[in-house]
Amino acid sequence: MEKEITIRKPSDMHLHLRQGDMLKTTVRDASAWFAQGVVMPNTVPAINTPERLISYRDEILSRNPGFKPIMSFKLYSGMSASEVKAMADAGAVLGKLYPAGVTTNSEDGVKSWLDIKETLGAMSDLNLVLSIHCEWPDTFVLDREYEYHREFAAIAKAFPDLRMVFEHISDRRSINFVAGLPDRVAGTITAHHLLLTLDDVIGANMNPHTFCKPVVKGPADREALRQAAFSGDKKFFFGSDSAPHLKAKKESEAAAGGIYSSPVAVPLMTQLFEEKGKLEKLENFMSVYGPAFYSIKPAESCITLVQKKSTIPAVIDGIVPLYAEKTVSWSIKA
Ligand SMILES: [Zn+2]
């Protein structure tokens, strides 16, 4: 008989759904595996007004009313307390801080937290979560995340009630850093950072489909991330950072950063946890700790996975997914 596991339907605590036609693909694929998702605001134009937040949410819901989008807004220098309040009133649960120039559509990001003091104070007062892409620009690429620790610590110190998420942890030094901060600080971990190392990007021929920001790092970093995911520490939970780009945009001389993992992340995580004898930790990591940190209900529905091999497609609607053409040993139970 095939081995099975039933867990609460996962919550993706960091998700890029993109816009326009791509929403058809991204919402379909995310909702197949996830009950809800923290939707990132780095669209063009960015989600930084109440009108845009509401229309983006409506567009997502129109694709699948059964998938709950947890809405964010993008912080900008000089954002006032009343503007933050308007975002909260429109339904935002978190604000996302992109340091200027670190990733897709972040050219207009924030240079220093000193430029958004009023913004952060208002977020703290309104109990909104601050989510941060933690990389300090213009430093050596493999140290950028570590170089951001100082800025993160300064914000945490200045706003002692603010809940903060260190997004997509990739560096082993960040695991210790987050673990050492109070319980109001948590970190998301992606499937690709738990599965890949730099060898998968540049160890053989350069593979743009494994290129993302922050870049995947060494075996010791991956191991530290895995230990955090397996630890049962509620500070560490799943956020896919699934970030699709069309195949042509990845296979170019300026490959865009981002990995499309929504369609495969849950079976791949089940496979990893099972292989490492940690299957009993899977549900909390995928489905419980993230919503708990955000004070959001976890899914009431469940999904069942069976240990049954399938091959991941080479391309899904023009996008090359994580682990394309590879075999995954778990599938959703029909
Ligand atoms: Zn992201």
H or E, element range at 265: helix 265-275
Residue 160 alpha carbon to ligand 1 centre in Å: 25
In the reported structure, the alpha carbon of residue 334 is separated from the centroid of ligand 1 by a whole-number distance in angstroms of: 31
User: Which residues, including other chains, have CB under 8 Å from residue 160's CB and lie 6 or more apart?
Assistant: none
**DSSP-based helix, strand, coil % in the chain, nearest 5:** 40, 20, 45
Q: What band does 171 get if pLDDT is binned at 50, 70 and 90?
A: very high
Which amino acids are annotated catalytic?
241
Q: Using 50, 70 and 90 to split pLDDT, how confident is the model at 95?
A: very high
Note whether residue 305 is domain-resident.
no
In angstroms, what is the span from residue 243 Cα to ligand 1's centroid? 7
User: What pLDDT shows up at residue 105?
Assistant: 75
Beta-carbon count within 10 A of 59 CB: 15
Q: Predicted confidence band at 115 (pLDDT cuts at 50, 70, 90)?
A: very high
Which residues lie across from 70 on neighbouring strands?
38
Q: Which residue has the tokens 């009630």?
A: 161
Phi-psi region of 277 (alpha: psi -120 to 50; beta: other; left: phi over 0): left
Count Cα atoms within 13 angstroms, Cβ side, for 169.
31
Given a cut of 90, whether residue 334 has pLDDT beyond it is: no
Distance CA 185, CA 162 (A): 8
The per-residue pLDDT for 243 is 97
Q: What is the pLDDT of residue 81?
A: 98
Question: What are the helix (H) ranges across 91-209?
Answer: 117-125, 144-147, 149-158, 172-179, 191-195
Mean pLDDT of 88-107: 89
Protein residues with C-beta less than 5 angstroms from the ion ligand 1: 241
The answer to whether residue 312 is domain-embedded is: no
Domain assignment present for 95:
yes
Q: Say if residues 132 and 96 touch (Cβ distance below 8 Å).
A: yes
Judge whether 61 and 27 are in contact, CB under 8 Å: no
268-274 contacts, C-beta under 8 A, 24 or more apart: 268/191, 268/195, 268/322, 268/323, 268/328, 269/191, 269/194, 269/238, 270/5, 270/305, 270/330, 271/328, 271/329, 271/330, 272/194, 272/195, 272/226, 273/229, 273/230, 274/3, 274/5, 274/307, 274/329, 274/330
**Residue among 132, 154, 133 at smallest CA distance from 212:** 133
In this predicted structure, the answer to whether residue 107 has a pLDDT above a threshold of 90 is no
Cα(241) to centroid(ligand 1), Å: 5
Main-chain phi, psi angles of 319, to 5 degrees = -120, 135
Q: Let me know if residue 318 belongs to a domain.
A: no
What the block records as the tokens of 140 is: 């050596």
pLDDT tens digits along 288-320: 999 999 999 999 999 999 999 999 999 999 999
What range defines the domain where residue 63 resides? 11-296
Percent of the chain whose pLDDT exceeds 70: 100
For ligand 1, the distance from its centroid to the CA atom of residue 319, given in whole angstroms, is 17
Mean pLDDT of the chain: 96
Which pLDDT score, from 0 to 100, does residue 280 have? 97
Q: How confident is the model at residue 72 (pLDDT cuts 50, 70, 90)?
A: very high
Q: Are the CB atoms for 162 and 183 separated by under 8 Å?
A: no
Q: Residue 314: inside a domain, yes or no?
A: no
Going by C-alpha positions, the residue among 258, 237, 324 that lies closest to residue 12 is 237
Angle subtended at Cα 271 by Cα 266 and Cα 272, rounded to the nearest 5 degrees: 100
Residue 106 above 80 pLDDT?
no
Q: Are 113 and 134 in contact (CB under 8 A)?
A: no
Q: Give SS3 for 244.
A: coil
* 243 located within any domain: yes
Residue 302 lies in a domain: no
How many angstroms is it from 5 CA to the middle of ligand 1? 29
232: Cβ–Cβ under 8 A, 6 or more apart, which residues?
A: 281, 284
Q: What is the pLDDT of residues 201-230, one digit of tens each?
A: 999 999 999 999 999 999 999 999 999 999
* Per-residue confidence (pLDDT) for residue 108, from 0 to 100: 80
What does the pLDDT look like over 132-164, one tens digit per residue?
999 999 999 999 999 999 999 999 999 999 999
pLDDT digits 0-9 by tens, 234-249 = 999 999 999 999 999 9
Which residue bears the tokens 């955000």?
294
pLDDT score at 287? 98
What does the CA dihedral 142, 143, 145, 146 come to, rounded to 10 degrees? 150
CATH number of the domain enclosing 21: 3.20.20.140
Q: How many domains does the chain have?
A: 1
Residue 139 lies in a domain: yes
